[in-house]
Amino acid sequence: APGAEPKITVAGIKTLKSKTRIANAETVFDGELLVVAGVMNSAREPGELWIAWPEIFRIKNEALKEKAEKLIKEAYAKKRKNQ
């Protein structure tokens, strides 16, 4: 349906050795568009994570962006727990 919210899945989390960019998250929109986002350690708020999207990629809908970032953080936490 036009205007329907895309289905978002996190296809994979790859942990990195960097202290700042701690993982890459393969995020899939509608099963077609794959975007690799960075899971970042916050320098301003220790213990907090934030998501870095590629410079050319924008999610204009704030609620959709928050949903995608929440899914990425949950997938990252699950991966860490299972390591």
The encoded tokens of residue 10 equal 């996190």
- Do residues 20 and 35 lie in contact, with contact meaning Cβ atoms separated by under 8 Å? no
Give me the chain's average pLDDT, please: 94
Whole-number pLDDT of residue 83: 78
pLDDT (average), residues 9-37: 97
Whole-number pLDDT of residue 51: 98
Grade residue 3 by pLDDT with cuts at 50, 70 and 90.
confident
- What would the pLDDT profile of 37-70 be if each residue is shown by its tens digit? 999 999 899 889 999 999 999 999 999 999 999 9
Alpha helices, DSSP H, located in 1-83: 62-81
Per DSSP (E only), the strands in 1-83 are 8-15, 21-29, 33-41, 49-52
Distance CA 25, CA 39 (A): 7
Whole-number pLDDT of residue 28: 98
Considering the chain, what percentage of its residues have pLDDT values greater than 90?
87
